[in-house]
Amino acid sequence: MSTHGTASPTTPSSPVDVPQLTLSDGHALPAIGLGTYRLRGAAGADAVARAIRTGYRLIDSAFSYENEGAVGAGVRDSDVDRSEITVTSKLPGRHHAYDQALAAIEESVYRMGIGPIDLMLVHWPNPLAGRYVEAWQALLEARERGLVRSIGVSNFLPEHLERIIAATGVAPVVDQIEIHPRFPQDEAVRWNADHGIRTEAWSPLGRASGILADPVLQAIAREHGRTVAQIVLRWHVQRGVVPIPKAASPDRQRENLAVFDFALSESDLARIAELARPDGRLKGQDPATYEEF
Ligand SMILES: NC(=O)C1=CN([C@@H]2O[C@H](COP(=O)(O)OP(=O)(O)OC[C@H]3O[C@@H](n4cnc5c(N)ncnc54)[C@H](OP(=O)(O)O)[C@@H]3O)[C@@H](O)[C@H]2O)C=CC1
Ligand SMILES: O=C(O)C(=O)[C@@H](O)[C@H](O)C(=O)CO
């Protein structure tokens, strides 16, 4: 149970049936997923397998997390049919050059060892290095070759999205960006929706920083008899955003999935909107200038 919660979380013991959304390429995307940053090795594989048994059907990974092997092992160990699970990986900035990108994607597929990757994202645009159009072209080729099924991006601003769409005529199905109550990114979410791009939220719980102790969120949690984490995840879901909270323990994994049997009111949403801050990014990683390799 969360130490930040004000009530016992709803923690059903049978697998949760997570609603599915439809991407612009026709494939399904679960409405919530599991983040895996820092879940590695045997403990990571165990956490992923347990999460899938609990009901998670979307697992987020990345070449840079050095855990694609553990994620693949968790998927295999879960005893849930592979076709029911959407596994994401991400191409790192150091491999944006076309040939290197294709080799890195092949490597991600080998590391996971579970067949084609369901959703491959360009991790960061790295606009100063300036090769993200090439990286996007490589993802298109990887899809053509059957290495990956759906393709998208992460941390792309409208200016980056406009450029890759103009260059290739193909829009990503997903843009995974930083979103939490202190940094809701209303304009980016709206821009993506207007262009048929589904927004996913990274660090949806604010990486368990001060957000979970926020008094406004704690009051709303008390009123609904839920934990603060559940209130925040429900807020994402009601905005049409797919959160991918990372949780290592089975209790928290269950707690975070139990957000489909209650709703926040307009007044709750208005109170949460007040928490937004112009400088609300967790680590100041503005994709207009930040470069990650
Ligand atoms: N595309 C990108 O550039 C980025 C993508 N990501 C992806 O997004 C995922 C999620 O973001 P992340 O940065 O991990 O942060 P999250 O916002 O998901 O927060 C994770 C932290 O919250 C804790 N936590 C989870 N559930 C609860 C709960 N119910 N109550 C209290 N604490 C809880 C976790 O603890 P514990 O693990 O101990 O349970 C962990 O410390 C990443 O794991 C990664 O997959 C993240 C950053 C950037
Ligand atoms: O975790 C990721 O996906 C990242 O892109 C990292 O930049 C992460 O945000 C981080 O905090 C690394 O220190």
Query: Is 202 a pocket residue for ligand 1 (Cβ < 6 Å)?
Result: yes
Residue 153 is predicted with a pLDDT of 99
Query: Model's pTM, two decimal places?
Result: 0.96
**CATH code of domain 20-209+242-248:** 3.20.20.100
Q: Is residue 136 predicted with pLDDT exceeding 50?
A: yes
Query: Is 254 a pocket residue for ligand 1 (Cβ < 6 Å)?
Result: no
- C-alpha atoms less than 13 angstroms from C-alpha of 87 in its C-beta half-sphere: 32
The whole-number average pLDDT for the span 2-18 is 55
Q: Which mutation among 39, 183, 202, 290 tests ligand 2's pocket best, with the greatest number of atoms within 8 A of CB?
A: 202
The CA distance from 126 to 193, in Å, is: 23
The CA distance from 120 to 92, in Å, is: 11
27 is in an annotated binding site: no
Question: Whose CA is closest to 23, among 185, 240, 169, 235?
Answer: 240
What token pair was written down for 84? 């029911």
What token pair was written down for 130? 């300036």
> Nearest ligand, CA of residue 67?
1
Sheet holding 58-60, edge to edge: 58-60, 86-91, 117-122, 148-154, 174-178, 198-202, 242-243
DSSP state of 213: G
The separation between CA 250 and the C-alpha centre of its own chain, rounded to angstroms, equals 19
User: Which residue's CA is minimally distant from atom 6 of ligand 2?
Assistant: 292
Q: Is residue 198 predicted with pLDDT exceeding 50?
A: yes
Ligand 1 center from residue 243 Cα (angstroms): 10
Query: Is 66 a pocket residue for ligand 2 (Cβ < 6 Å)?
Result: no
Residue 15 is predicted with a pLDDT of 87
Residue type, 75: V
> Nearest ligand, CA of residue 39?
1
Q: Residue 49: phi, psi to the nearest 5?
A: -60, -45
What token pair was written down for 108? 């991600």
User: What is the chain's mean pLDDT, rounded?
Assistant: 95
The CA distance from 152 to 117, in Å, is: 12
Ligand 1 center from residue 24 Cα (angstroms): 26
What token pair was written down for 32? 């919530």
Which residues fall within 8 angstroms of residue 77, CB to CB, at 6 or more apart? 45, 46, 49
Residue 10 is predicted with a pLDDT of 41
Give yes or no for a contact between 201 and 236, defined as CB atoms under 8 angstroms apart: yes
For strands 28-30 and 20-22, give the pairing: antiparallel
Give the three-state DSSP class for 243: strand
Ligand 1 center from residue 80 Cα (angstroms): 23
The CA distance from 30 to 168, in Å, is: 27
The domain segmentation of the chain, as residue ranges, is: 20-209+242-248
Query: Is 229 a pocket residue for ligand 1 (Cβ < 6 Å)?
Result: yes
The whole-number average pLDDT for the span 246-274 is 98
Q: Which of 37, 56, 65, 290 is catalytic?
A: 65
Residue 209 is predicted with a pLDDT of 84
What token pair was written down for 158? 């409208």
Helix axis angle for 186-194 and 158-168, nearest 10°, is 20
The CA distance from 253 to 227, in Å, is: 13
Residue 114 is predicted with a pLDDT of 98
Query: Is 2 a pocket residue for ligand 1 (Cβ < 6 Å)?
Result: yes
Ligand 2 center from residue 248 Cα (angstroms): 17
Which residue do the tokens 């594989």 mark? Answer: 45
Residue 13 is predicted with a pLDDT of 56
Ligand 2 center from residue 58 Cα (angstroms): 19
Q: Is residue 195 predicted with pLDDT exceeding 60?
A: yes
The whole-number average pLDDT for the span 45-68 is 98
**Active-site residue 65, yes or no?**
yes
